[in-house]
Structure 1
Amino acid sequence: MPQTYENQMTLADPSMAASWSVLGLPQTTQLSFGPAIDPVKLEEARMLFNAMDYSRATGQDEDGDTILHIYTAKGLRECAYAAAERLRDVGRLDAKEHKGKTALLVAVTANQPEIVQDLLSFGSDINACDVKGQTALHLAAHYGLPGVLQAILSSRPSVNLEARNFDGMTPLHCAAISHSASVKAFPSIGLVDVGLQTVADEKLSCVKMLLEAGASLLSQEIKSNKTVLHLAVKEGNIDLVTYLLRISLPNMKDFVNLKAHGHTALHMAAGLHGNPHQEDILQLLLRRGADPSIRNLENDQPAHLLQIGPRGENLKLMLKKRSASSRRRIVSLQDQE
């Protein structure tokens, strides 16, 4: 797991602007995100790089790595900056290693937000993908790296929020799946692990950042047609379900009742046998307009998918009451017409 990055939105000393100008640094980029690059170390890195053999400075090794990939993976920001300058000048800034990763994608997975922004300022392709179709956004969302995600999103509008990886998922889908995986790792009994909770919180913040940036709640996976809500409900992720259903949508009822291969989110919640949050999730969905009368491809309503026994019967009664209430409301509206 990449190291946790604590975002530092502090302005650099304005007196350093002159030094950046002399060294050829893009001033607006350096001031906009994270700590400033060290001008002295950068000049040393440039001198070292200029003395390097041309083939080593611009070529790729047996794994396809350029020296920029290597510096980036190690978090050597000034060296990476100097290397990026050279590779940009020879048109090789987005060279890919054997797994299809550009230096930008390596910077993301290495949790290096400052290097990410440096590379973007040089013109790295923000929508480049690796051999699995994962863009920088997909990787930042998957690993739950809010600092990196912020650096990427600051380059909007060129970033594609709805890019699909080769599994047909958007970055928002990846963030939701990753958050659910972290929540499932919580111990079922006893004190919550602070480290696990921190990771889960950072991943949930990635979901929020993507949505605030304009990622679509309505996007469905290509393989399963699941929305981010389906993904959260399927895993019994009460925190994510609660957050998603608090979002104000003019078509919330339609969103809640979207089908994924015939199943609504309510069908999936009905199948959460033994999950401690099953009833809460059912109630949340019902309050936001989930329709208990909708049938799946097997002609089953959500009530038909509930567990056998007293708990299942109580939940079935709850669904039937809501279904009956909805029918009465529809009849009343028709009478008024």
Structure 2
Amino acid sequence: MRPQRGPPRAAPPQTVKQLLKELRQQKSREGARSPVGFGSALPAPLGWCSLAPRPRSDTQPLCGPTWVTPRQPGGRPWGKGLRCEGVSGELVGGENWGVNWEIKGGQCVPWGEFGAPLLGREIQDPYPEPQDLAAARAALGGRDPRELLRQDEEGDTLLHVLCAGGHWALARAAAEALRDLGGLEVREHLGKTPLLVAAAAAAPEIVRDLLVLGANPDAADHEGRTALHLAAAYGRPEILQAMISSGVPVNVEARNFEGQTPLHCAVLAHNASLQGGYSPAGGSGGGSPTPQDRFRCVELLLQMGADSSSQDTKSSLTALHLAVRGGNLALAHLLLRQPGMAPRLVNMKAHGNTPLHMAAALPGTPSQEPLVRLLLASGADPSARNLEHDLPQSLLPPGAPGDPLRLLLRSRRGSHRPPHTAE
């Protein structure tokens, strides 16, 4: 048991886990069609198979989209339309509680996730299957709201537990029952609201629903991390897409207690994934994020309006400083390609060091020369000096390894007219 914060809670007559168990038993007795993890498994139509809870596809689009809607016997649509891409012929999970579809010659990606348009288009159906949602509402409808608000020894309410497990219909029904009682903002022992739990658990449908129902999009946990920070650090582009599709304004410049914006977190996570070092996987669904997922998070944050010139409050580092320090040529290209950003970004200083200083100080990595050339082509000033009065060329490795870049930087110094630099 974790130590409690604040005054001790009165021991509830029924723990959250017991309530969850009772809901399962109730749905099993009713014989209702229930979500995966609640009662019996879903029937699989037409020989299609049922999978584990909340399957996901992390595949990238390979070709133009085709929209399909699987049908049940009799022709009634079975769930949501799917976006079919690629040529792998894999079985890819849909959104309907464990049902998957076999699309010959292509991969099926649920609308609103993994390759759906990022901006400007609504999710077609922001609800679970009607029968699932009706059953979930019936299961919770007779409950005393105070019972739903009870917290266990770790501060979890039933809604926290449902969000952590990715149980979409029940989470939606619980959120509807609790939204007027402050239940969407209850915090567990780490300071996470249900929205933050859903973001960390890689449950994009629940994230979107909670936002639409009024959850605070900028709520932060005990480390100052918002849902954007968690999605960025854990490499979950589907969470960012869900937040976009909700239409709820969110503060993309929020700071965690390290003084970092979500964009800083996303760049650090992508750096770590390329270097093979530790980077938090996060979440219980969706499998392990790939470097492509983490790169996608950076792209999405920029499209959401993140300011790449924002400096963290501890070291004054911008996203470009972090990318260059990590030898991340792909992210440096992405950041400098933004319209009008290169002149403003390329000579900003972090404790006196420009990105060019940081590129010169790299320990002879394969990306060092391409980074130096990219920065110079983007307007980096080779005559800028840091707080120790060092030129970038002074930070190159001594001897033969650094000689070609040293000559390049010296040749550029005489012809460069430095633009205004931001300290």
Shorter-normalised TM range:
0.7 to 0.9
Q: Identify the residue that residue 19 of structure 1 maps to in structure 2.
A: none
Q: Identify the residue that residue 379 of structure 2 maps to in structure 1.
A: 289
Aligned residue among 342, 357, 371 for 1:267: 357
Q: Identify the residue that residue 69 of structure 1 maps to in structure 2.
A: 160
Q: What displacement does 1:274 show?
A: 2.3
Corresponding position: 1:222 with 2:313:
yes
> Letter of the aligned partner of 1:76 in structure 2?
H
> Letter of the aligned partner of 1:239 in structure 2?
A
Q: In the alignment, is the contact (CA less than 8 A) between 1:183 and 1:200 conserved in 2?
A: yes
Q: Identify the residue that residue 327 of structure 2 maps to in structure 1.
A: 236
Q: What displacement does 1:40 show?
A: 1.1
The count of residues paired between Structure 1 and Structure 2 equals: 303
Q: What displacement does 1:210 show?
A: 0.9
> Letter of the aligned partner of 1:62 in structure 2?
E
Q: What displacement does 1:197 show?
A: 11
Q: What displacement does 1:185 show?
A: 1.4
1:155, 1:118 → 2: CA distance? 8
Corresponding position: 1:257 with 2:347:
yes
Q: What displacement does 1:51 show?
A: 3.8
> Letter of the aligned partner of 1:219 in structure 2?
S
TM-aligned CA distance change 1:87 to 1:312, over 3 Å: same
Trace 1:1-337 onto structure 2 (pairs within 5 A): 32=123, 36-52=127-143, 54-156=145-247, 158-185=249-276, 199-249=290-340, 252-326=342-416
Q: What displacement does 1:284 show?
A: 0.3
> Letter of the aligned partner of 2:236 in structure 1?
L
TM-aligned CA distance change 1:88 to 1:114, over 3 Å: same
TM-aligned CA distance change 1:289 to 1:227, over 3 Å: same
Q: Deviations over 1:230-285 (max 9, x none)?
A: 00000101111122222221x52231000000000000001101211101100000
> Letter of the aligned partner of 1:94 in structure 2?
E
Q: Identify the residue that residue 333 of structure 1 maps to in structure 2.
A: none
2:239, 2:58 → 1: CA distance? 10
Tell me the secondary structure at the aligned position of residue 93 of structure 1: helix
Tell me the secondary structure at the aligned position of residue 32 of structure 1: coil
1:4, 1:325 → 2: CA distance? 53
Q: Deviations over 1:162-200 (max 9, x none)?
A: 1111111111111111111111119xxxxxxxxx99711
> Letter of the aligned partner of 2:159 in structure 1?
L
Gaps of 5+ in 2: 1-53, 71-75, 78-121, 278-286
Q: What displacement does 1:148 show?
A: 0.9
Tell me the secondary structure at the aligned position of residue 163 of structure 1: coil
Larger strand proportion of the pair? 2
Identity score, percent: 47
TM-aligned CA distance change 1:11 to 1:52, over 3 Å: farther
Q: In the alignment, is the contact (CA less than 8 A) between 1:100 and 1:131 conserved in 2?
A: yes
Gaps of 5+ in 1: 17-30, 187-195, 331-337
Q: Deviations over 1:16-63 (max 9, x none)?
A: 9xxxxxxxxxxxxxx725774111121211222134455432211111
Q: What displacement does 1:151 show?
A: 1.0
Q: Identify the residue that residue 27 of structure 1 maps to in structure 2.
A: none
1:163, 1:66 → 2: CA distance? 26
After superposition, the CA RMSD in angstroms is 2.8
Q: In the alignment, is the contact (CA less than 8 A) between 1:5 and 1:145 conserved in 2?
A: no
Structure 1 length-normalised TM: 0.83
Q: What displacement does 1:313 show?
A: 1.7
Q: Deviations over 1:120-174 (max 9, x none)?
A: 1110000100001011111111111111101112345620011111111111111
> Letter of the aligned partner of 1:99 in structure 2?
L
